[in-house]
Amino acid sequence: MLSQICNFITWDFDPDFISSPVTIRWYGIMFVIGFIAGLSLITKMFKHEGTKSNWPDSLFIVVVICTIVGARLGHVFFYAWDYYSQHPMEILKTWEGGLASHGGAIGILIGILFYSYYVTHRNPLWTVDRLVVPVAFVAGLIRLGNLFNSEIFGHVTNLPWGFYFIRSREWQSICMEHGQMVACHPTQIYEALTYFALFGLLMFMYWKRNAGERQGLLSGVFFLVTFGARFLIEFIKNPQEAFEVGMVLNMGQWLSVPFIIAGIWLIVRAMRRQREKIEYPNCFSDKK
């Protein structure tokens, strides 16, 4: 699976956890682990603030549906519309791959608008501020899933932690172009480490600094760090689609810009506004 050859790392990880009689991939397992861990954490946070006990489960359903639908449609419209406009039934084949994180983010935000209107009757930012904490953890797991799939990696590098992605056809094509084996940036790891560090920061802000009392602060930090890192790492990442070749800024970077701007605005807005004191009963309101 993992070995050091000529100062580079050979990555030969089997993406299938189970291949028979049904195929279960590590990428899917990362999603499941993330959703379960996310539900557990958001339940603890909602209980900490004394919300109704059915709110976490309702939010979980909304997030799962909106993540999958949004990420799929994001890929369809942002990266492969030329193909899917001619083959619309192929959009339903999510098991064949093709999910875009920006689409997932947009889908979740739309879902939260409806969730806030019909369930919490609170400002949507209240929900977003709490949801981004587990989402940062899930984002790190998803990038590990990309690593297990040997996909979405970076340019050729001479750095000692460069990877030989043995199972990747894209990597094999790159090697053929260079006429030899070449190592590539493991950009999946770069992003995963960033998101896990962000998760730790948001946890500290929420539990130790009561950052939830500054509406929009947690959301702003999440957007700025997540999409700021994505914007920068894209410079050393290989194009995901043919139309991105030769672009100064690729599609992922253009889609990140609005989130970065929103993050900066939310942080400035939160720090200028007066802190809203929150009581923490540490029990659900319907159990009092």
d(CA 133, CA 111): 17
The average pLDDT across 68-87 equals 90
pLDDT for residue 2: 54
Half-sphere exposure of 51 toward its Cβ, with a 13 Å CA cutoff?
Answer: 22
The average pLDDT across 195-203 equals 98
Query: In this model, does residue 1 exceed pLDDT 70?
Result: no
Q: Are 19 and 108 in contact (CB under 8 A)?
A: no
Query: In this model, does residue 245 exceed pLDDT 60?
Result: yes
Structure pTM? Answer: 0.92
Confidence of residue 280 (pLDDT cuts 50, 70, 90): very high
3-state secondary structure the chain: CEEEECCEEEECCCCEEECCCCCEEHHHHHHHHHHHHHHHHHHHHHHHCCCCCCHHHHHHHHHHHHHHHHHHHHHHHHHCHHHHCCCHHHHHCHHHCCCCHHHHHHHHHHHHHHHHHHHHCCCHHHHHHHHHHHHHHHHHHHHHHHHHCCCCCECECCCCCCEEECCCHHHHHHHHHHCCCCCECCHHHHHHHHHHHHHHHHHHHHHHHCHHHCCCHHHHHHHHHHHHHHHHHHHHECCCCHHHCCCCCCHHHHHHHHHHHHHHHHHHHHHHCCCCCCCCCCCCHHHC
More confident residue, 163 or 20: 163
Average pLDDT over all residues of the chain: 93
pLDDT for residue 34: 95
Query: In this model, does residue 288 exceed pLDDT 60?
Result: no
Q: Are 174 and 193 in contact (CB under 8 A)?
A: no
The average pLDDT across 94-110 equals 86
Q: Which among 260, 222, 252 has a CA at the least distance from the CA of 236? A: 252
Confidence of residue 201 (pLDDT cuts 50, 70, 90): very high
Question: How many other C-beta atoms lie within 10 A of the C-beta of residue 86?
Answer: 8
In sign, the C-alpha dihedral spanning 44, 37, 101, 88 is negative
Confidence of residue 248 (pLDDT cuts 50, 70, 90): confident
Confidence of residue 63 (pLDDT cuts 50, 70, 90): very high
Q: Residue 193 is encoded by which pair of tokens? A: 């480490």
Query: In this model, does residue 118 exceed pLDDT 90?
Result: yes
